[in-house]
Structure formats: C-alpha cells, structure tokens
A and B are shown apart, each in its own frame.
Chain A
Amino acid sequence: MNRIQVKLQEDKKLLSIYFTAGYPRLNDTVRTIENLESNGVDMVEIGLPFSDPLADGPTIQASSTQALHNGMNSSVLFDQLKDIRKTVTIPLILMGYFNPILQYGVEAFCQKCEEIGIDGLIIPDLPVEVYHEQYQTVFEQHGLLNIFLITPQTSEKRIRYMDSISKGFIYTVSSASTTGSQIGFGKDQTNYFKRIIEMNLDNPQIIGFGISNQETFSQATKYAKGAIIGSAFIKFVSENGVNDLKQFIEPIVKKL
C-alpha cells in the first residue's frame, strides 16, 4: 500500500504542509522535510518551482521566483532528495506545474519519483481528462497517486468522476481563489464542505487554501480528514528560516 493510503487510515486529523523546494535557500529542501516530520507533520507537499505559477498568489509566486533564482530545477530537486527515504518516513507529494514535468519527460519523471520514494503528485494544470486518457497508466506503474483539486464551482458529476479515478485523497480547495488570498471560512465555505461530506465519496478529503494557523486548521478539519497549510508556512520560513519549525508547527499539532 502507498504511504499516503496508510496515513489516511490513521485515526486522527492530518496536517499537511506545502513548501517550495530550494527556498529560502537552495539546500534547505531536505532539512525542511526532516524538521517537518520531527515536529509531527503528517504529510509534506514539495513544491517544484515554476516561472509562471497561475494558481498561486504573491507569496508562493515570490518563493518560486527566489527558488529558481537559487538554482532549483527538477534535476537538482531529484538529486537533493535521493537519500530522503533514509531519514523520512511520512508521505511525500510533489506539487508542480505541468510544463517542467513535460520537458523532463512524464515517464522519466515518474520513474525518478518512484526511485526516490515519492508517493503522489499534484499538478494543478493537468486536467483530469488528460490524466485519465494519457498518464494514469504510467503514474500507477510507478506507484504514484495523482491528487485532484475540487472547488466550490466543481459540479457533482465532475467530483464523482475524479473520485472514481482517485486512489488517495481529494484536495478540497476551500474557495475560488489563488493560494494565500484569504484567511478563514465563512458560511458559504462551510456549506460547501458539508455538501462534499454528504456526497459520501470513496476518497477522504483534505482541505487547502485559506488555512494558516491552529484556528483555521481545526475549523477545516471539522469537515475533512485533514488540512494543508502553504502560504502561511512560506511566510514563516521567509522570516525564520527552516532550522526551527517548532514555533509554527507545535501550536497546530498539539491539539491533534
């Protein structure tokens, strides 16, 4: 069984953290992952930076630009991660836009992910139909789960379609927005979360976008198996570096 699937069976709410590889400094990647695990984070999304991140707000854009400037790219990242499974056991997901993966070669990329011990991919601009028709087989051959995003505007039919070809979790985007653009949830969002719960999907849901601290985390996890923090974590490491993450993580995990 894939590490993500094992993790999802644990009887607790899950905290997943997104960070941009090679940020703030090129060689911070491995230390960030190790420190996230040792502080009790359940799952990590490693962002492969892209020059034109359409779905991201200013914080993640700026971190991507800096990471590219630092020299990060697919090959460098794979090299940094080659021994990661000697020290880290939690699920690792790579999140990146499609073009760099296409240039690396989708099959070669998947192969490399398998060698390293990556468990899943999130590719925001790879539509579910294209994945289903062209890439599902190769992803599965290499033991990779593809994670799909849904939004408040995604139709029920489309959610069911994604659910039917997902084997990990559904990434519930909390509102129609780019990353980091809103904080907290209103009634529209909680109604949407409830609507998703009532659909009784095969895959558990993890909520992302708009979660920044303990309060929003526990609000989100009332309606889902877990939640993802991205921009707020990037802001934290911009100011504090990656060596001591306890200050950011502890308040969130101690209530889990």
Chain B
Amino acid sequence: MSYHVNEKGYYGQFGGAFIPEMLYPNIEELRQNYLKVMAEPDFKKEFGQLLKNYVGRPTPLYFAKRLSEKYNTKIYLKREDLCHTGAHKINNTIGQILMAKRLKKTRVIAETGAGQHGVATATVCALVGMECVVYMGEVDISRQAPNVARMKMLGAEVRPALSGSRTLKDATNEAIRDWINNPVNTHYIIGSAVGPHPYPDMVTRFQSVVSKEIRLQLKEVEGKENPDYVVACVGGGSNAAGAYYYYLNEPDVKLIAVEAAGKGIYTGESAATSVLGKEGVIHGSKTLLMQTTDGQITEPYSISAGLDYPGVGPMHAHLYKTKRAEFISVTDDEAMKAGLELSQLEGIIPAIETSHALAIFKDKKFKPEDVVIISLSGRGDKDLNTYIDYFKL
C-alpha cells in the first residue's frame, strides 16, 4: 500500500485535479516543474538556508516532563510554534515563494482563514520583494484584526471575500477566481495540503522537514528514529502531513489525526470531516467533504479558525479510508481545557488548533513506555482574545 501520491495525482481514490480549463495551464506548469525545481541543488540550498537562518530551524523536540508525568507516558512536543511568524505555515510559504521565483512569477496570491497562512505568505513576499494579495473572508477580517494589521504592515493587500459565508472556503474560492483572471504572472500559494494536484503533494513535501527533523532528534534522545505515535491536528492537514511524512511507510509508528468536533459532532456545528464528510470535489480535489445530499458544500464550525474547513487534504482522506491513521474528534471545550493545561504545566501557550491535538490524553490511554510525538503546530498569541473570552481571564 502506498500512502504517497501516484503519477496521476491520486492518493488511492482521492486527489486529482478537478479544475476549470481556465486553470489548466497554471496547474500543468506547476505539475511539470515542481519536482524538477525541488530537486535542483540551488533550490535545495536556498530553501535549506532560509529554513535555518530565517525560520529558525531545526525547531526543538522538547520532552514535556510534567505533561508526561500527568498522563504517565513519554510526550515530546515538536516545537513548530517557535518558527518565525509563529507556526509551521512558513515552511510551505518559503518553499512556494522560491518556486514562484523559479517559475518567473511576479505576483502572489493566497487565501487565509485565521490569518496565519496570510501572514506567512506576506512575510515571504516581503522577503523577496514580490506583490502579494491575500484573500480573507469578511467575517474573519473582523475577528482577526491583529493578523490583518500584520499583513498590511508586511506590505500585502488584504482583499475581503464577500461571497458565501465569508470565511476560509470563500476566501479560497476568491483566490482561485483571481488566478483564473491572472493566469500568466501570478502564483497561488495554497496554505494547506489541499487543492488540485500537485498542491497537496508539493505542500506536504515542503512540510516534510518536520518529520525529517523528528527522526534525527528522536534518535539522539531515545536511541531510535521511530516513536510509537505521531499526533497532529487536521484542518486541511498541512502540519499533520509534514509530521507524518517520513513515517507513512513505517507500520510500527501509529498516526493520530485530531479533528475539530466544534460544539459536538452531531450538533450541526462541527468540522469533523472524517465522520460527517462524504466523497466529493472541493477546490479541485476529490476528497472527503461536508456537504448536503444534493452536493452543496456546507459550512463547518470550530472555535479554531484554522480547523474550520469543510474538506480535508486527499492524503488524509486516504489515510482515513485505509485506516493507516486513527481519526479522533475533539470539541471546543476539550481543546480549550487542553490549551490551558499545557500553558500551566509546561509554560507554553499553544494555538487553539494545536490544543485539539493535546486534548486526546483525556480519553486515549498510552503505555508508560510509549513515545508520543505531538506536533505543536503553532503558538497561541493570535488566540489570546479567544482564550480570554472563554476563560474570563
């Protein structure tokens, strides 16, 4: 069984490129070039140097002593929250901006929900001096004001998505429409392991540095490359894809994907795509997605804007279908409590997305000798207002 993409862009039955003809030349150009470009020594060198000196990699693999004592197992945190701009998102935007330069593009567009990917994109555009337009749902713009300000300060233009529910899904639609209208000079930096082939694979490869580092770091501290578990939260699934990548074909490493159950899976306010989703096509990819029986895409809900997506990357849909990964859903309340717990046990305030991954210890039991890696995908600074409101701090 292969968990990687095949030559036609599929992970099992999922993936592909279901795009209007207007996008075909852009996607085809990328498909024909992305592996070639990524293999160029020049590209690898520049990417590696920027990850080291600009992003701050390798990020630490930290043994969470007090958290481990509490749950009587060995918990390591992969500290993506310490990346420049505060989350793993920048691993991908660095890679894609270098790709855009090599494809001779002069303008970059991106979508963003909470604003983390938007900030990471605006950052790399400033770094190389490229025009940057970020689409963001009108609703998200008003609830994520600090990140909007950061993008503007970095020189990006933030355009409101005014259609549909005016959140992440609609911002993605608007970015795709922009690309249709600007097919020659523009590169679209998708922020997650979603979208038409080759995006899920390209984003996963740029994020794979996370598990590459985990292997080396774990070898040093535990004397073995393979943990017993790798745990990550999944919205579109880019941090999980990066944390799993080098372990996909290691059957002794169990993979756990944590989805947002929102107010409860069956409350109608949830983003638990693996449970609520059916096979369908969203944003150019055949995957699991939340939809009506008529095939209209429905609105997800989560307290975390980064997990608030009605689909999931096609690689994850395949991991779910083949049972390679175990999918667990965590509610808003469980996540918020886990975020507070990490803050007070380890002195680390996690992003609310990440808090979902931390919430599994309440129900899922591990053995004392198990080595459990948690992808600590982002820091909680952006979520302070939500934490403050929730805990009445």
Q: Is the CB of B297 within 8 A of A54?
A: no
Would you give the shortest CB distance from B19 to chain A, in whole angstroms?
6
The docked-state distance in angstroms from the alpha carbon of A241 to that of B65 is 69
Q: Which residues of B contact A102 (CB under 8 A)?
A: 279-281, 295
Q: Which of B8-22 contact A (CB under 8 A)?
A: 16-22
Query: Which residue of chain A has its CB nearest to the CB of B170?
Result: A52
Q: 1/0 contact trace for A101-140 toward B, CB 8 Å?
A: 1111000000000000000000011111010000000000
Q: Which of B165-186 contact A (CB under 8 A)?
A: 169, 173, 176-177, 180-184
Q: Is the CB of A52 within 8 A of B164?
A: yes
Q: Is the CB of A173 within 8 A of B295?
A: no
Report if A125-B295 is in contact (Cβ < 8 Å); known contacts: A57-B177, A178-B180, A181-B181.
no
Q: Which residues of A contact B295 (CB under 8 A)?
A: 50, 74, 99-104
Q: Is the CB of A99 within 8 A of B20?
A: no
Does A252 count as interface, using CB distance less than 8 angstroms? Answer: no
Q: Which of B276-295 contact A (CB under 8 A)?
A: 278-284, 291-295
Does B163 count as interface, using CB distance less than 8 angstroms? Answer: yes
Does B296 count as interface, using CB distance less than 8 angstroms? Answer: yes
The docked-state distance in angstroms from the alpha carbon of A217 to that of B297 is 35
The docked-state distance in angstroms from the alpha carbon of A127 to that of B196 is 12
Q: Is the CB of A127 within 8 A of B169?
A: no
The docked-state distance in angstroms from the alpha carbon of A100 to that of B282 is 11
The docked-state distance in angstroms from the alpha carbon of A26 to that of B25 is 37
Report if A55-B22 is in contact (Cβ < 8 Å); known contacts: A125-B284, A176-B183, A177-B181.
yes
Would you give the shortest CB distance from B113 to chain A, in whole angstroms?
15
Does B24 count as interface, using CB distance less than 8 angstroms? Answer: yes
Would you give the shortest CB distance from A72 to chain B, in whole angstroms?
9
Does A151 count as interface, using CB distance less than 8 angstroms? Answer: yes
Q: Is the CB of A54 within 8 A of B20?
A: yes
Q: Is the CB of A127 within 8 A of B180?
A: no
Q: Which residues of B contact A128 (CB under 8 A)?
A: 21
Q: Which residues of A contact B182 (CB under 8 A)?
A: 176
Please tell me which one of the listed residues B20, B279, B282 contacts residue A52 in the complex, with CB atoms under 8 A apart. B282
Q: Is the CB of B177 within 8 A of A178?
A: yes
Q: Which residues of B contact A149 (CB under 8 A)?
A: 20-22
Q: Is the CB of A124 within 8 A of B296?
A: no
Q: Is the CB of B181 within 8 A of A99?
A: no
The docked-state distance in angstroms from the alpha carbon of A151 to that of B278 is 32
Q: Is the CB of B183 within 8 A of A126?
A: no
The docked-state distance in angstroms from the alpha carbon of A176 to that of B178 is 10
Q: Which residues of A contact B22 (CB under 8 A)?
A: 55, 149, 151, 153, 173, 176-178
Q: Is the CB of A100 within 8 A of B294?
A: yes
Report if A103-B294 is in contact (Cβ < 8 Å); known contacts: A124-B20, A130-B18, A173-B21.
yes
Query: Which residue of chain B has its CB nearest to the CB of A51?
Result: B296
Query: Which residue of chain B has its CB nearest to the CB of A58?
Result: B163
Please tell me which one of the listed residues A50, A150, A151, A155 contacts residue B296 in the complex, with CB atoms under 8 A apart. A50
Please tell me which one of the listed residues A98, A151, A155, A177 contacts residue B18 in the complex, with CB atoms under 8 A apart. A98
Does A146 count as interface, using CB distance less than 8 angstroms? Answer: no
Q: Is the CB of A154 within 8 A of B281?
A: no
Q: Is the CB of B24 within 8 A of A127?
A: yes
Please tell me which one of the listed residues A54, A98, A100, A154 contacts residue B24 in the complex, with CB atoms under 8 A apart. A154
Q: Which residues of A contact B280 (CB under 8 A)?
A: 99, 102-103
Would you give the shortest CB distance from A196 to chain B, in whole angstroms?
14
Would you give the shortest CB distance from B218 to chain A, in whole angstroms?
41
Query: Which residue of chain B has its CB nearest to the CB of A128?
Result: B21
Q: Is the CB of B21 within 8 A of A150?
A: yes
Q: Is the CB of A176 within 8 A of B180?
A: yes
Query: Which residue of chain A has its CB nearest to the CB of B294?
Result: A73
Q: Is the CB of A130 within 8 A of B16?
A: yes
Report if A154-B25 is in contact (Cβ < 8 Å); known contacts: A54-B20, A99-B282.
yes
Would you give the shortest CB distance from B190 to chain A, in whole angstroms?
14
Does A253 count as interface, using CB distance less than 8 angstroms? Answer: no
Q: Which of A141-185 contact B (CB under 8 A)?
A: 148-151, 153-155, 158, 173, 176-178, 181
Query: Which residue of chain A has its CB nearest to the CB of B286?
Result: A102
Does A65 count as interface, using CB distance less than 8 angstroms? Answer: yes
Contacts A/B (CB < 8 Å), 5 sampled:
A52-B169, A103-B294, A125-B20, A127-B21, A177-B180
Top 6 closest pairs, chain A to chain B, by CB = A103-B295, A100-B295, A73-B294, A51-B296, A153-B25, A55-B20
